[in-house]
Amino acid sequence: MSQMDRTVTLEATSRRQFAFPHIFVVLFTFICIAAAMTYLVDAGSYERVISEQGKTVVVPGSYSVMEGQQATLLTPFMAVFSGMKEGSSIIFFIFISGGAFGVLKATGVLQKLVNSISRSLSGNDLILIPLLMLLFAIGGATFGMAEESIAFIIILAPIMKMLGYNAMVAAAVPLVGAGAGFSAAFMNPFTVGVAQDIAQLPMFSGLGLRVAYWFVFVGVSIAFVTLYAAKVKSPPGSAAELSKELSDLAPLSTADRFILAVFGGSILLIAYGVIRHGWYIGEISAVFLMMGMAVGLFARMSPNAIAEHFVNGLKEIAMGALVVGFAFGILIVLKDGNILDTILYQLEQVIGSMPPVLTAVGMFLVQLVLNCLVPSGSGQAALTMPLMVPLADLVGVTRQTAVLAFQLGDGITNIITPTSGYFMAGLSVAGVSWGKWIKWILPLFLIQLALAISMVTLAYYISWS
């Protein structure tokens, strides 16, 4: 073997040694740890009652020790199936939503919208940065835009280069824009929707304050990227080259405008239904399904093509949906072993003497760390909210605040952690190293961290419900 071959082999071995385990491996490991804990942790339970609002709540001070049920060798494997069954409504909601947005994505209308904006503002290119980021932030807030950022980086990279911006700007506009919108989302079905379902809150309730938070969070992020873009901008490429680059991009057609109208109308319909008629997962899934069919027809797709794109969209979201089942599997093992309430009791004892506002902030910080291990928003909600909700009840933090702590903790590390697959892929496409990105985004991350803590603190003090 030559020296070069040895070097390549050693590098490959090193990469394998430092490869972060697949999310399913992480969660199944947690299931096994939960099973082992049934032998190590005393069993116990709280009394639960139905509140006047119809919510199942823990009775403070009612914890008592009881006989536990220890796990068997088969328990971890059965837990995966049981978790899928327990989380089936959320899983199918994610499948249907992902499939519908797969059809929308296949129409190419979102890419054309970006192209149209780029073309119309090519003479005032700095304005393009905040406008595009605002568009991506709306996507993050409404349909959980994340993986779609990769396609937009591919589109924007040559345009930004011709306008005189560097690769960092091309990566930041979609990643930071969608990431900020995702973190402070007001109608994201995959984070806010799932967490509120588990917390037994009306779907997308608390909309007013979430929208206000969204404007602050997104506004700060846009300002950070825009100021950086203005600082690094170099003289743009020739007008002829830029004109050719933009003219090669397809404009919005009449059909595309109808598709955008259907998408916007669907979001408004969901907002109306949730607020006025108490719509839930079933109705929202139905609207998304109708939207997918309608945009497919406006795009002149055949029924078979619509079905194929629906399946493709479902495939893209499948792992995130199945993560919910694995996460529920952990909780089932803890519940069946009667140790979930014991963990809750110990947490209550640790933070019981602390001011509740610090408990709320602590919930946010826990979610922040967990997102590095479980970079799926819906999966993290399924894993943590069944514990955070009763904990919030016990210490006097509203469930709406607990949901906010979750979504902010889940969101702001998505464009930081190397376990976030779409984020790392986006950097790769843009040609930006992870180390360089971290050095650049660290000030914004710290600002977002301070904002998130302030938002959770405010939510606590106003008893946001």
Lowest-pLDDT choice from 45-59, 194-208, 249-263, 438-452 = 45-59
CB crowding 38-51: b at 16 or more within 10 Å, else e:
beebebbbbeeeee
pLDDT of amino acid 103 = 93
Is 12 among the domain residues?
Answer: no
3-class state of residue 101 by DSSP: helix
**Given pLDDT bands bounded at 50, 70 and 90, which one contains residue 326?**
confident
Lowest-pLDDT choice from 233-237, 393-397, 455-459 = 233-237
pTM of the predicted model as reported, rounded to 2 decimal places? 0.69
DSSP string, 10-76: HHHHHHHHTPPPPHHHHHHHHHHHHHHHHHHS--EE--EEE-TTS-EEE-TT--EE-------TTHH
pLDDT of amino acid 239 = 47
pLDDT of amino acid 17 = 56
pLDDT of amino acid 2 = 55
Is 250 among the domain residues?
Answer: yes
Does residue 408 contact residue 191 with C-beta atoms inside 8 Å? Answer: no
Is 33 among the domain residues?
Answer: no
pLDDT of amino acid 6 = 52
Lowest-pLDDT choice from 30-44, 237-251, 254-268 = 237-251
Percent of the chain, pLDDT > 90? 37
**Structure tokens, 411:** 């969101």
Is 77 among the domain residues?
Answer: no
How far apart are the C-alpha atoms of 10 and 100, rounded to whole Å?
45
Is 319 among the domain residues?
Answer: yes
Give the domain extent around 240. Answer: 87-461
pLDDT of amino acid 57 = 66
Helices (H), ranges, 146-279 = 149-163, 167-183, 194-198, 207-232, 239-247, 254-277
Is 27 among the domain residues?
Answer: no
263 CB-contact burial (10 Å; exposed 0-12 / middle 13-18 / buried 19+): buried
Is 219 among the domain residues?
Answer: yes
How far apart are the C-alpha atoms of 371 and 41, rounded to whole Å?
25
Is 414 among the domain residues?
Answer: yes
Count other Cβ atoms within 10 Å, centred on residue 358: 13
Q: What is the pLDDT of residues 250-285, one digit of tens each?
A: 678 889 899 999 988 987 887 788 667 877 778 888
Q: In the block, which residue shows the tokens 């190590």?
A: 40
- Please give the tally of structural domains in the chain: 1
- Of the two residues 33 and 101, the one the predictor is more confident about is 33
3-class state of residue 1 by DSSP: coil
Q: 57 forms bridges with which residues in the sheet? A: 49
